[in-house]
Amino acid sequence: MCHQSIEKMLKAYYIFLKDEAQPQTHNLNALAKQTALYDKLTDAFKQTLIKLDPLYIKARYEDYKNVIADLLTNEYCGELLAETEVLGEWIKSLMKT
C-alpha cells in the first residue's frame, strides 16, 4: 500500500500541476519525471521510489512473490512506511497554494 499511496500522491500532483488527466502508469519514477518533480527529489526520496517501484509491478507475478516476501521483514516494512509518510507529506506540501 505504500506504493499505491505514493502513486496516488504523484498522480494528484500531476493533475494539480498540469490540470489534465494523469498518465496511466504505475511506475513511480516515470510519474515523478513527467511532473519535473524528479529533479526536486532528494537522494533519500529517490531511494524510496526505487524501493517502492517493484512492490507493485513485480509482486503481481508468482515468481517474485517469495523474493518480495523475504525482503519485507517487519523492520524493513516499518522503515519503508516511515519513508513513505515523509515523501507523501512533502508531495502534499507542494500542492498547498
Query: What is the DSSP track for 51-92?
Result: HHHHHHHGGGSHHHHHHHHHH--HHHHHHHHHHHHHHHHHHH
**What whole-number percentage of the chain has pLDDT above 90?**
73
C-alpha cell at 10: 504523484
pLDDT of 17 above 60: yes
C-alpha cell at 44: 533519500
Residues 22-63 have pLDDT tens digits of 999 999 999 999 998 999 999 999 999 999 988 875 545 677
Give the pLDDT band of residue 7 (cuts 50, 70, 90): very high
What was the pLDDT predicted at 71?
83
Helix or strand holding residue 4 (H, E):
helix 2-18
C-alpha 88, offset from chain centre: 8
Query: Considering the entire predicted model, what is its pTM?
Result: 0.86
